[in-house]
Amino acid sequence: MSRRHVMQWLMLAAMLGLFYGLPWLRWHDTAVLLFDIQARHIHFFGLDLRTDAILPLLWLALAALGALCLVTSLYGRLWCAYACPQTVLTRLHRALRRITTLNGLAGERIEPVLRHALWAATALWTGITFVGYFSPVRGLVAALPAFALDGWETFWIAFYALATWANVLFLHEQVCTYLCPYSRVQPWLTDAFTPSVHYDARRGEPRGARTAGGSSVLQRARGLLDPVTARDYVFRAAHPASAGPPPTFSDAHLGDCTDCGACVRACPVGLDIRNGHTDACIGCNACTDACDDTMVRNGFPTGLILRTSPARIEQRPPVAFRVRPLLFGALTLLFLALAIAGLVAAN
> Above 80 in pLDDT, residue 56?
yes
3-class DSSP assignment, residue 31:
strand
- Residue-wise pLDDT for 62-101, tens only, equals 999 999 999 999 999 999 999 999 999 999 998 888 887 7
Average pLDDT of the residues in 178-205 = 91
Give the DSSP H or E segment for 306.
Answer: strand 305-308
> Above 90 in pLDDT, residue 337?
yes
Q: Read off the pLDDT band of 171 (50, 70, 90).
A: confident
pTM for this predicted structure: 0.84
**Cα angle: 271, vertex 273, 279; to 5 degrees:** 70
**Dist. CA 43–CA 31, nearest whole Å:** 7
Query: Which residues are CB-contacts of 334 (< 8 A; sequence separation ≥ 6)?
Result: none
- Residue-wise pLDDT for 253-270, tens only, equals 899 999 999 999 999 988
Partners of 31 in beta bridges:
26
Q: What's the mean per-residue pLDDT of the chain?
A: 88
Look at residue 105 in the predicted model and tell me its pLDDT: 44
